[in-house]
Chain A
């Protein structure tokens, strides 16, 4: 299976996302922001970073790039798309996911291993989990506060579109402790924490078993393999 990872000017975690795709057993395909070519990939990851230096609003300028025209069209036809951190911000600015992301309520950049609860395990990127699973993956952002108006929030909660919720401490003031969302169809998922940094023992978050042994992020990428096989 070929999974595209888009590089924008200012992307930082594109190589990490490619590595996660490889470790999950798929073939990573580098995609370029300035191109209209999705290269026939079967799923797409929008990686973390600071595209365009967060100018205008985080993700706002990347959302206007040539490749995003194609990503939005493909996503609306059902192509799986995962947005991580800045990728989540790009999905929101592209209107593939609702709401907005603003500066952390305490004003500081956060970098920590973050516990999350998987709320929806019925998406293209979460089906290797069970609903209610508790996982730990890194979180690192300055503008991760999720907001939406009350009506949107009610709809997201009512229709199971909250994919991940922060556990223990709310790290950025996100409403309803929302860490990640899915669209109604379940093919588009976005979250602020970074699953691609928790995919290989020795390089992940600490666990009770051993330092840096956490690989809870790997299931995001094995999920997509499963969901594609199921469709085939």
Chain B
């Protein structure tokens, strides 16, 4: 079955406390060359077939339900390889 992948990230200007906690742990492991971590979300929407209409609907869903534009950005909506 074809899959549409939607990726959502916290807005760049906002603090991401979960990502920061992971970055701190990396630092404690001596891996401070990984200087930053941000955690986002990946949604996999399974569909019967990918059409322009379905893709458009997925983009609409990404903006209206899967993300909250006040705190997050939709970074991509694409068909999985």
Residues of A within 8 A of B (CB): 56-57, 60, 64, 92-93, 98-100, 102-107, 147-149, 173
Contact = CB atoms under 8 A, between A and B. Distances in A.
B18 A107 contact: yes
A102 B14 contact: yes
A230 to B, nearest CB: 34
Given A56-B66, A107-B20, A107-B21, A173 B15 contact: yes
A148 B65 contact: no
Q: Which of A64, A98, A102, A107 is the most central at the interface, judged by chain B CB atoms within 10 Å of its CB?
A: A102
Chain A interface main SS type: loop
Contact of A102 (B20, B65, B71): B71
Given A105-B15, A147-B14, A57 B70 contact: no
Contact of B68 (A57, A103, A107): A57
B17 interface: yes
A108 B56 CA distance: 38
B19 to A, nearest CB: 10
Contacts of A92: 70
A105 B68 contact: no
22 contacts: A57-B71, A60-B68, A64-B65, A92-B70, A98-B70, A99-B70, A100-B68, A100-B70, A100-B71, A102-B10, A102-B17, A102-B71, A103-B17, A103-B18, A104-B17, A105-B15, A107-B18, A107-B21, A147-B14, A147-B70, A149-B70, A173-B15
Contacts, number: 35
Nearest to A143: B17
Contacts of A104: 17
B17 A106 contact: yes
B47 to A, nearest CB: 19
B23 to A, nearest CB: 11
A147 B17 contact: no
Contacts of B20: 107
Interface in B64-78: 65-66, 68, 70-71
B17 A93 contact: no
Interface string B18-31: 10110000000000
Nearest to B43: A56
A38 to B, nearest CB: 24
Q: Which of B10, B14, B65, B71 is the most central at the interface, judged by chain A CB atoms within 10 Å of its CB?
A: B71
Contacts of B71: 57, 100, 102, 147
A173 B66 CA distance: 24
A42 to B, nearest CB: 31
Contacts of A93: 68
Nearest to B15: A105
